[in-house]
């Protein structure tokens, strides 16, 4: 299915929450419900209050405007940082595509577009956290992210934007 990419706006908040659940439950285990995940401050810090100043991102939509996936970033304070925190002012990125629209290039296109947008917005770096067994790990490396720190199961990565 054809897709186009547009900027993420405030009314995308519920869809971003959907994609956040996909990112946290990337194995599809559904070990925690959507409600449970989004009630967890460690999870909802990536979308709570979207879209506040400094937030940025993109949404892929189909021919009818229906959202297929999203990639967005926000600058989190050190106290209240996300898993991908690498330093003050460096935005942390989240990426998710609806399951039925995966493996068709949407995720890579979203990632590239979000990085371009962050660069245009003046950010010099962008970061994230990903579990090493998630194939997204290879996607990030192929898009220029490098590992800065390794935890037990996951890596913190960053990409220099300019």
CB of 68 to ligand COA, least distance (A): 8
Q: Is 112 an interacting residue with respect to ligand COA (CB under 6 A)?
A: no
Q: Which is nearer to ligand COA, 122 or 128 (CB)?
A: 128
Site membership for ligand COA, residue 103 (CB under 6 A):
yes
DSSP 14-63: HHHHHHHHHHHTTT----S-HHHHHH-HHHHTTTTT-S-TT-EEEEEE-T
Interface residue with ligand COA among 95, 113, 114, 161 (CB under 6 A) is: 95
Q: Given the complex with ligand COA, which of 8 and 122 has the nearer CB atom?
A: 8
When asked if residue 102 is in the footprint of ligand COA (CB under 6 A), the reply is: yes
Looking at beta carbons only, is 7 or 25 nearer to ligand COA? 25
- How distant, in Å, are the alpha carbons of 12, 92, 116 from that of 140? 24, 13, 14
Confirm or reject binding of residue 97 to ligand COA (CB under 6 A).
yes
């Amino acid at each position: 299915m054809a897709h186009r990419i547009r900027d993420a706006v405030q009314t995308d908040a519920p869809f971003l929450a959907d994609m956040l659940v996909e990112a946290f439950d990337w194995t599809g285990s559904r070990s925690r419900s959507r409600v449970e995940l989004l009630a967890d401050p460690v999870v909802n810090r990536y979308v709570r209050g979207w879209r506040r100043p400094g937030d940025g991102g993109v949404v892929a939509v189909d021919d009818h405007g229906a959202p297929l996936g999203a990639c967005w970033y926000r600058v989190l304070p050190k106290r209240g940082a996300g898993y991908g925190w690498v330093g003050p002012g460096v935005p942390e990125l989240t990426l998710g595509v609806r399951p039925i629209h995966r493996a068709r290039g949407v995720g890579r296109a979203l990632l590239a577009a979000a990085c371009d947008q962050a660069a245009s917005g003046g950010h010099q770096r962008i970061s994230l956290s990903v579990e090493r067994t998630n194939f997204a790990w290879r996607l990030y490396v192929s898009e220029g992210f490098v590992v800065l720190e390794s935890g037990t199961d996951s890596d913190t990565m960053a990409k220099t934007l300019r």
